[in-house]
């Protein structure tokens, strides 16, 4: 079972993923988390992406795709993958298809957490007080939404055309949203 948790910045993908990966025993692949690890370890990739991430821009497709390809390839024995924050462009979605095909796998479903933008901005500013993330400030947040609307939102259409997109209301109690996600996943 390979699933994608999709949604705008601050939609709660990370929070829900923590519970989902436990419940379904999935390998969790968050490109945001992996890139933050690369930055913390000051690797070549980390140095390359640091400025882009702090300003709220998107890292190049080549970098994130090569990270995902490596992680999928080294975890082929797993029950499945949970992708969070990837794919974020149509090109990444196409390349993910190629990767999955190469390993005889497929994406079973894409769950899109739906939350209005005003709520998201407040959530992220609140998170910024404790997250220590360089991109949880108002200027970077605004830029992340510009990037989301221009480059990431079209990914929804990509999966809608495939018929494997499921919308989930992302406003409400964390546990309620989790239960709604589980109800959908259990249909697979």
d(CA 145, CA 66): 24
Longest dimension (CA), the chain: 43
7 binds ligand AMP (CB under 6 A): no
Indicate which single residue of 5, 53, 72, 109 sits in contact with ligand AMP (rule: CB under 6 A). Answer: 53
* Residue 170 engages ligand AMP in binding (rule: CB under 6 A): no
What distance in Å separates the CA atoms of residue 99 and residue 97, rounded to the nearest whole number? 5
* DSSP result, 60-89: PHHHHHHHHHHHHHT-TTSS-EEEES---S
| 85 in contact with ligand AMP (CB under 6 A) | yes
9 binds ligand AMP (CB under 6 A): yes
104 CB burial (10 A radius; 0-12, 13-18, 19+): exposed
Give the residue among 109, 75, 74, 69 at the shortest CA–CA distance from 92.
69
Q: Does residue number 144 form part of the binding site for ligand AMP (CB under 6 A)?
A: yes
Total residues contacting ligand AMP (rule CB under 6 A)? 17
- Residue of 7, 8, 12, 32 that binds ligand AMP (CB under 6 A): 32
Selected range binding ligand AMP among 52-60, 98-106, 115-123, 170-178, rule: CB under 6 A: 52-60
Q: Tell me if 31 contacts ligand AMP by CB under 6 A.
A: yes
The region of 28-36, 39-47, 73-81, 95-103 touching ligand AMP under the rule CB under 6 A is: 28-36
- Parallel/antiparallel/unpaired status of strands 27-30 and 81-84: parallel
Query: What's the CA gap between 31 and 27, in Å, rounded?
Result: 13
In the list 20, 27, 58, 155, the residue contacting ligand AMP (rule: CB under 6 A) is: 58
Residues that bind ligand AMP (CB under 6 A): 9, 31-32, 35, 52-53, 56-59, 64, 85-86, 88, 92, 135, 144
């Amino acid at each position: 079972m390979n699933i994608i948790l999709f949604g705008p910045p601050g939609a709660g993908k990370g929070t829900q993923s923590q519970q989902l990966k436990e419940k379904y025993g999935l390998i969790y692949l968050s490109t945001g988390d992996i890139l933050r690890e690369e930055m913390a370890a000051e690797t070549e990739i980390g140095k390359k992406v640091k400025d882009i991430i702090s300003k709220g821009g998107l890292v190049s497709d080549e970098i994130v795709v090569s990270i995902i390809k490596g992680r999928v390839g080294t975890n082929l024995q797993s029950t499945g993958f949970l992708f969070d924050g990837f794919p974020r462009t149509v090109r990444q979605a196409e390349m993910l298809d190629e990767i999955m095909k190469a390993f005889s796998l497929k994406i079973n479903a894409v769950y899109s957490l739906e939350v209005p933008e005003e709520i998201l901005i407040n959530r992220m500013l609140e998170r910024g007080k404790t997250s220590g993330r360089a991109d949880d400030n108002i200027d970077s947040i605004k830029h992340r939404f510009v990037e989301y609307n221009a480059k990431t939102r079209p990914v929804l259409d990509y999966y809608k055309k495939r018929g494997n997109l499921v919308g989930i209301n992302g406003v409400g109690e964390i546990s309620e949203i989790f239960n709604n996600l589980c109800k959908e996943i259990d249909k697979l």
